[in-house]
Amino acid sequence: MTDDLQPLPVDEGIDRFLRSREPELEESSIRNARTRMNYFREWAVKVAEIENLNDLTGRDLADFVAWRRPQIRALTLQKQLSTVRMALRFWADIEGVTDGLAEKLHAPELPDGAEAREEHLSADRAKSILSTLDQYHYASPRHAMMTLLWYTGMRRSALRAIDADDLRPDDNALVVKNRPDEGTKLKNGDDGERWVYLGPIHYQVIEDSLEHPERNDVTDDFGREPMFTTRAGRPTGDTIYVRVNRATQPCQYGECPHDVDPEKCDALGADGYPSKCPSACGPHAVRRGSITYHLNRKVAPEIVSERCDVSLDVLYKHYDVRTDQEKMNVRKDSVEDAL
């Protein structure tokens, strides 16, 4: 136990956290948070036999995820861990757990198709977001992240695995590598390794982002220089999820389409939940929109499959959200001469 911490029993810590959220959340949201924290309470008291939150470690949090994971769907687990992570940050503020412990609670990456198939970032919204970022936040970490996610359709595990020296300037490309022994395992392991062409315009955004003042000049625990960073080093998958949620909020680029007062919005601010915005998208939804965009641009499915590291079966089943008319328009050029 760290000397600077003040004893905090599990029940008291959870009750304090929930009370702190009551002024900001609707009753339904408080009920959801209470339900999610009750599972954490059950694990801490009955399984891990933790009496004082001061004793909580990163290894304990990994054990909690392993205990809860078989019981619920992957997307539900993501939401539950988001609430626990918020509690960990609150407990750190009141000297109940060590600073930075929240960043050690890692949510497993969603399997292909785990989110609703219809949930995707449309091409029009993506273009609007990227156009605004290009004009007002050029080469910022947010601009670089959304550029890569949209134009390559990569998973967040691939995004966080990229190092600064994985760029290939002579080819306007980058290399995605599997480094499981250094904390950046790709979903499909070595089979997910590939070169990804960006083109000169998008490549320049990524290269320029390395010098952007918002980017932290740090190395990770293995001495590598991540492309995307936090003050502590390489971002977790959860951090990327939150950043993408925030980057896709419409109010970041114009008016709120949901007529919500920004002063009362649960999705805004340092203590808000960006995912609560009905229009916010996670990395998986951006990936789905990107793949559909590539297909509508008449990129061959086989090429999209290799570029985005997704099998054709999974691509058609979970990622192709084109309308029947859009599919016809793509086929039209190929059959027109036969008609």
Which residues does 5 contact at the CB level (< 8 Å), separation at least 6? 54, 95, 96, 97, 98
pLDDT in tens, 48-70: 999 999 999 999 999 999 999 88
* Average pLDDT across the chain, whole number: 89
Tokens of 118: 């219809």
- Per-residue model confidence as pLDDT tens digits over 113-125: 555 445 789 999 9
C-beta separation of 220 from 174 below 8 A: no
Spatial contact of 133 and 202, defined as CB atoms under 8 Å apart: no
CATH class of the 123-276 domain in this structure: mainly alpha
Please give the average per-residue pLDDT across 29-43, as a whole number: 90
Q: What CA–CA distance (Å, rounded) separates 242 from 12?
A: 28
Alpha carbons 312 and 336: distance in angstroms, whole number: 25
| Residue in 284, 278, 271 with CA at minimum distance from that of residue 314 | 284
Alpha-carbon dihedral sign for residues 221, 222, 224, 228: negative
Q: Can you tell me the distance from the alpha carbon of 268 to that of 285, in angstroms, rounded to the nearest whole number?
A: 20
Closest CA to 103 of 275, 14, 220: 220
Residue 144 — pLDDT band, cuts 50, 70, 90?
Answer: very high
Cα torsion angle, 13, 15, 16, 22, sign: positive
* DSSP labels, 209-225: HTT-TTS-----TTS--
Tell me the one-letter amino acid at 322.
Answer: R
Tens of pLDDT along 296-310?
A: 999 999 999 999 999
CB–CB of 125/248 below 8 Å?
A: yes
Contacts of 58 (CB under 8 A, 6+ apart): 101, 104, 105
- Tokens describing residue 104: 């050690």
Fold of 10-104: DNA polymerase; domain 1 (1.10.150)
Answer whether residue 111 shows pLDDT above 90.
Answer: no
Name the nearest CA neighbour of 18 among 30, 27, 26, 6: 30
Q: According to the model, what pLDDT value does residue 93 have? A: 93
Contact between 261 and 267 under an 8 Å Cβ cutoff? The reply is no
The pLDDT > 90 percentage for the chain reads: 63
Span of 22-36, 112-126, 234-248 with lowest mean pLDDT: 112-126
Confidence of residue 214 (pLDDT cuts 50, 70, 90): very high
Do 237 and 157 meet the contact criterion of CB atoms below 8 Å apart?
A: yes
Residue with tokens 């998208």: 281
State the DSSP string of 278-303: TT---HHHHHHHHHHHHHHTT--HHH
Higher local confidence (pLDDT), 161 or 232: 161
- Report whether pLDDT(233) > 70: yes
Location of structure tokens 């609150």 = 90
Dig out the tokens for 290 from the structure. Answer: 């990107």
b vs e for 37-73, b when ≥16 Cβ sit within 10 Å of the residue's Cβ? bebbbebbeeebebebbbbbeeebbeebbeebeeeee
154 contacts: CB under 8 Å, gap ≥ 6? 148, 176, 196, 287, 308, 309
Domain segments of the chain as ranges: 10-104, 123-276
The pair of three-digit structure tokens given for residue 248, joined into one six-digit string: 């896709």
